[in-house]
Amino acid sequence: MYRKTVQIAVAELRRAARASTVLEKLHALDLAEQKLKDALWLRPEQGGDRWATGLRQIQQSRATTLEEQALPAVERLLQGAEKGGAEGEQMLRAAGDILAFLDHYLSDDDRVDALCARLRGLGGERPPYQPVTPLSQIYHRPPAGAGCGALISGLLAGLLILLALTR
């Protein structure tokens, strides 16, 4: 289970690196972060500086994505919805989905509050933020020593390389 969890984290980091939309990237970063936390929960003895560094880099990447991509994307979507047209509802729905992340991670930011008010003014709704469910809420921890350490070390090295490339 540990190996599969790390594989999912790496796959999600790859998906975040090549994501074509800000929403896809934010979903992938959330999933990758939770899978790394799950891996630490499954095998705390495998933790250390590499995992902490990986988690910090994911958080930094998310913060950058929120500031540089998500806020401008919501602004553009709301401007498009204000102009009207057939895609207005889709734009409001997309803006609401992105605002769910913005409101969760930047809840004290006045810009996010203003965008939420603007969305509501246009008749849109912001769905609630849906966090990734941790494995600790679903499974019991496996016994110590289960799994393959060499494979995990290789995956961790690949993860660190991917994290360095996504910066």
pLDDT in tens, 54-104: 899 999 999 999 999 999 999 999 998 888 777 888 999 999 999 999 999
> Cα separation of 93 and 125, whole Å?
7
Whether 48 maps to a domain, the answer reads: yes
Note the pLDDT of residue 147.
Answer: 58
62 with 105: CB under 8 angstroms?
A: yes
Whether 137 maps to a domain, the answer reads: no
Of residues 22 and 124, more confidence is placed in: 22
Note the pTM of the prediction, 2 decimals.
Answer: 0.77
Note the pLDDT of residue 149.
Answer: 59
Whether 138 maps to a domain, the answer reads: no
Overall number of domains in the chain: 1
Write out the residue range of the structural domain in which residue 107 sits.
2-130+147-166
Whether 141 maps to a domain, the answer reads: no
> Cα separation of 145 and 46, whole Å?
11
Whether 142 maps to a domain, the answer reads: no
